[in-house]
C-alpha cells in the first residue's frame, strides 16, 4: 500500500552494523516514515543492502549532495563511524534536510555547538539516537521513579562490563579513549534520564589498559544531582570476562535495576534488618522477575529483533520534523549535554598525562 504523502522520506547513510540492525528495521516499521534510499561509500554495499531490505534507491558515495535522487529525500539518518558525523550532519542541514545521527554526536564540543546553531538557523530538526531510555525495561523504571514508587532516591549508578573479545567496530581504537567515546553516551543519557535534574561533575578516575590499547581498563566518574546532592556514579570496565550493562536506582523503599542488554527490569523491596526471610524474599523476587521477563524479552533477544527503543527514537524524530520542532529527550540540547559529559572525562584523562 502506498504511504501517505505526509510521510517523512528518510535516506539511511552509512550501512554498517548499527544501520542494518537498528536504524533500518526501525525506519521501515515506523508509521509516517518512508525509506527513500540508502548510501554507503563502499562500492556495491548500498545496492546489496537495498536488495536485502526491498528499498528502491541506492547510491555509492560519501557526499550527500551527490545523491541522484536527492529531491526524494526530506531527512538523513546518519549511521557512519563517529569521525564522519560532523561533516555529514552539517552537509545535510545545509541542504535544508532534517538530520538524525547515531551517537556519539560529534568529536568536539565546538563542532556540536556550531551544528546545533546551524540546525536552529535553518529551522531543521536535529536529533540524536539515544535509544535505550525508551526500551520496555527503562520505561518501567522511569515510571516507578516518577511515580514515587521507589521512595526518596539515595543513589543512582550505571555499570558497564565489556568483554574485549565481543563484536566491536573496527574504528573504535581510533577514538579518544577508544571504546569509551563510542559507548559512554548510552550510560550518560540514561543517568541524565534517571536523575531528572542536571548532573554536577565531581571527579573521575582512569586506569590505563593492561592490554596496550587506547581504550582504558577502567573509568569511574562521580556526580551529584538534585537539591540534596544524591550521589550518581558511572563505572565502565573494558577488560572484563563478560559483557553486562546495568543501571540501578536505590530508593528508600525499593532498589530498582535495569539489565540493559536483556531488557529486564527488577525491583526488590528494602530488606530492613537483613534477616533470613527478607534475604530469601529478595532472592525469590529477583529470580522470579528475571525469568518472567525473559519470556517477554528473551525471544526477541535470541532472534536479534529487540528494538531497544529505536522505534520510539525514529517516531519522535519524524513527528518533530513534520511539526518543525525539536524532539523531546533526543534533541540538540540532549546531544550537546552528553557530548560535554564525555569531554569532561577526556579533560581529566589529559590531566593525568
Beta-sheet strand order (sheet of 33-40): 58-60, 33-40, 8-13, 75-78, 98-102, 126-129
Give the pLDDT score at 13: 98
Q: How confident is the model at residue 351 (pLDDT cuts 50, 70, 90)?
A: low
pLDDT average, residue stretch 157-178: 96
Give the pLDDT score at 3: 43
Q: Is the pLDDT of residue 117 over 70?
A: yes
Tally the residues of the chain: 353
Q: Which fold has domain 134-303?
A: Dihydrodipicolinate Reductase; domain 2 (3.30.360)
Residues of the chain within CATH 3.30.360.10 domain(s) are: 134-303
Give residue-wise pLDDT tens across range 199-241: 999 999 999 999 999 999 999 999 999 888 999 999 999 999 9
What interhelical angle do 332-351 and 109-122 show, nearest 10? 170
pLDDT average, residue stretch 321-349: 96
CB–CB of 102/129 below 8 Å?
yes
188 CB neighbour count, 10 Å cutoff: 26
Q: What does the mean pLDDT of the chain come to? A: 95
CA–CA separation, 259 vs 203, rounded Å? 26
Strand partners, 126: 99
Give residue-wise pLDDT tens across range 52-69: 999 999 999 999 999 999
Residues of the chain within CATH 3.40.50.720 domain(s) are: 8-131+309-331
Q: Is the pLDDT of residue 353 over 50?
A: no
Half-sphere exposure of 88 (CA within 13 A, CB side): 30
Place of cell 579513549: 177
Give the pLDDT score at 350: 65
The CATH architecture assigned to 8-131+309-331 reads: 3-Layer(aba) Sandwich (3.40)
Amino acid at each position: 500500500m502506498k504511504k501517505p504523502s505526509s510521510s517523512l522520506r528518510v535516506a539511511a547513510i552509512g550501512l554498517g552494523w548499527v544501520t542494518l540492525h537498528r536504524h533500518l528495521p526501525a525506519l521501515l516499521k515506523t508509521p509516517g516514515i518512508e525509506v527513500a534510499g540508502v548510501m554507503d561509500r563502499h562500492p556495491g554495499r548500498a545496492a546489496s543492502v537495498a536488495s536485502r531490505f526491498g528499498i528502491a534507491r541506492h547510491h555509492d558515495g560519501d557526499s550527500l549532495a551527490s545523491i541522484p535522487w536527492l529531491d526524494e529525500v526530506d531527512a538523513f539518518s546518519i549511521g557512519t563511524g563517529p569521525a564522519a558525523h560532523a561533516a555529514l550532519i552539517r552537509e545535510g542541514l545545509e541542504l535544508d534536510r532534517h538530520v538524525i545521527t547515531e551517537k556519539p554526536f560529534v568529536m568536539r564540543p565546538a563542532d556540536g555547538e556550531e551544528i546545533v546553531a546551524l540546525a536552529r538557523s535553518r529551522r531543521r530538526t536535529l536529533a540524536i539516537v539515544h535509544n535505550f531510555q525508551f526500551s520496555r525495561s527503562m520505561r518501567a523504571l522511569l515510571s516507578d521513579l516518577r511515580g514515587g514508587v521507589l521512595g526518596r532516591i539515595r543513589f543512582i549508578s550505571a555499570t558497564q562490563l565489556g568483554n574485549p573479545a565481543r563484536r566491536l567496530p573496527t574504528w573504535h581504537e581510533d577514538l579518544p579513549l577508544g571504546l569509551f567515546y563510542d559507548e559512554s553516551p548510552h550510560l550518560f543519557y540514561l543517568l541524565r534520564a534517571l536523575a531528572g535534574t542536571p548532573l554536577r561533575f565531581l571527579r573521575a578516575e582512569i586506569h590505563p589498559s593492561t592490554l596496550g590499547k587506547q581504550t582504558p581498563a577502567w573509568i569511574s566518574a562521580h556526580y551529584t544531582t538534585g537539591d540534596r546532592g544524591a550521589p550518581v556514579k558511572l563505572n565502565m570496565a573494558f577488560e572484563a570476562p563478560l559483557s553486562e550493562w546495568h543501571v540501578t536506582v536505590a530508593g528508600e523503599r525499593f532498589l530498582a535495576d535495569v539489565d540493559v542488554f536483556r531488557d529486564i527490569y527488577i525491583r526488590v523491596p528494602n530488606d530492613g534488618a537483613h534477616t533470613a526471610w527478607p534475604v530469601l524474599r529478595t532472592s525469590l523476587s529477583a529470580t522470579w522477575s528475571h525469568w518472567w521477563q525473559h519470556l517477554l524479552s528473551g525471544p526477541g533477544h535470541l532472534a536479534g529483533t529487540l528494538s531497544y527503543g529505536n522505534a520510539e527514537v525514529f517516531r519522535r524524530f519524524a513527528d518533530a520534523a513534520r511539526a518543525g520542532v525539536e524532539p523531546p529527550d533526543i534533541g540538540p540540547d540532549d546531544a550537546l549535554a552528553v557530548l560535554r559529559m564525555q569531554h569532561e572525562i577526556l579533560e581529566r584523562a589529559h590531566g593525568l598525562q
